[in-house]
Structure 1
Amino acid sequence: MSLVEIARFQDVYEADLAAAFLASHGVEVDVTERFQTTVDPLMQRALGLRLMGRADQAEQARDLLARVRAGEFTADEDDDLQPGEPTTRAVGRVMALFMAASGGFASTSLPRRFRPVHWIGVGLILAIVAISLFLALTGVFSPA
């Protein structure tokens, strides 16, 4: 059984998705160069990832991939996500600001209990909250 190149992709996720699609249609393929491209992601662009399959199924696989690119398998359903509520986005922004200022996104391999806390960021956030509460309670933010 000889293997031939079915397609070449620049992204490991796209290659895996194509391989899963072809497998669901009975075409056996294998994604090559996976190890090299996942160890060093920059190699994905340099090497690319190849879908290798049996020679007797190559034409069927290429035909299926061409039909996918043409949009034959798209659904008419509305899959678009609806925009979130403004309050939900505001809460998310505040949480992200707190995590960034307090060191929650610290890029270290240390366990969480050993990571340093960015006390300046925590203090800054607490000061902003305190000033906002003070101004709200004194009526500065009340509508005219």
Structure 2
Amino acid sequence: MKELEFEEDEYVILSQDKMFPDSILPLKTDEAILTNMNFIYIYKNLFGSIEDIKYIPLKDIQIRKKEACVSFCKKHGMLYMQLSLIKSNFLFGIDYTGDMFEWKYAIKNVALASSEDKRVTRCDSCGAINSGYEDQIITCKFCQNQIKI
């Protein structure tokens, strides 16, 4: 059985269970984790045991016109999120469609920030994802709270 491994300076930004892979009859048992360095997809069996772990470095997500290529697509009659990678695509679904917008926003912002050597952090006040350079003080885009990166 595989175990989840993080780099020394890697931290979790977003995580969720009840994910499902690109499959005709998917089980909604998988989990996804977005860190400041990777998108991690954890394949689980029916009983919740880890079958496999896929690490996708954020630097592998395509950036076009200063925007990370993350989109929605319909396949097998279900809505999926698609990460356009440099050499391929990765599709996954989320049990609750409303959460897809949060994931899309978070992945786009974190991938773009990592491509520009920026740091990503959550606002202590409202929880929004913000980015900036190390030791920089920025203003949260949503609540105007001051954040030190």
- State the TM-score, normalized to the length of structure 1: 0.23
Question: Going by fraction, where is strand more abundant, 1 or 2?
Answer: 2
Larger Rg: 1
TM-score w.r.t. length of structure 2 = 0.22
Q: Which has the larger share of helix?
A: 1
